[in-house]
Amino acid sequence: MKEVIAITAMDENNAIGKDNKLLCTLKDDMEYFRSVTEGHIVVMGRNTYRSIGRPLPNRINIILTKDKNFPIPKCLGCRVMHSVSEVLSFHSNLNNDKDMFIIGGEQVYESFLPYCNKLIVSHILASFDDVDAHFPEVDWTKWEPIGHPLGEEGWVSADDRNEYAFSTVIYRKTV
């Protein structure tokens, strides 16, 4: 079954970004992000696309904006779409089993959370000041953890690759 999966890294207060940038560098998290999303579809808002600065290779990139004149990036499989329903019908009509990863930011997570059947959350063991982007409120009673793909007992320590300790958890929607 094709899945719609939100993937994010958030601090202890659900913060995900500041000044249109990520909160910190977690190289092991980025590597995991690449490994699970490659070959699939990634959906991002215009701000996140600007923050990344380029389409992500080896994935179908969908950039969401209401701007009908937004230039389509010159890359294989890059698309610009203008509404949640356009993205959802593109995914369900695709003649393959690619999953669709919702990769942020705040506005895009908010728009797609009701349609996600899985969440992949890297919980960062830190609390950042002066943040301006958050993951939306999640009713955790409707989600169950089904895996901890990284680290010793689910935790990755802070080290020269990762500025903070974090735990990546895969959640499945139960209802």
61 binds ligand NAP (CB under 6 A): no
# binding residues, ligand NAP (CB under 6 A): 29
Q: How far is the CB of 18 from ligand NAP (least distance, A)?
A: 6
17 binds ligand NAP (CB under 6 A): yes
97-98-100 Cα angle (round to 5): 130
The number of CA neighbours under 13 Å toward the Cβ of 48 is 23
For residues 79 and 61, is the Cβ–Cβ distance under 8 A? yes
Contact pick of 12, 31, 67, 144 for ligand NAP (by CB under 6 A): 67
117 binds ligand NAP (CB under 6 A): no
Enclosing H/E stretch for 42:
strand 41-45
89 binds ligand NAP (CB under 6 A): no
Is the bond preceding 105 in cis, omega lying within 30 degrees of 0?
yes
16 binds ligand NAP (CB under 6 A): yes
CA distance 154 to 128: 22
60 binds ligand NAP (CB under 6 A): no
8 binds ligand NAP (CB under 6 A): yes
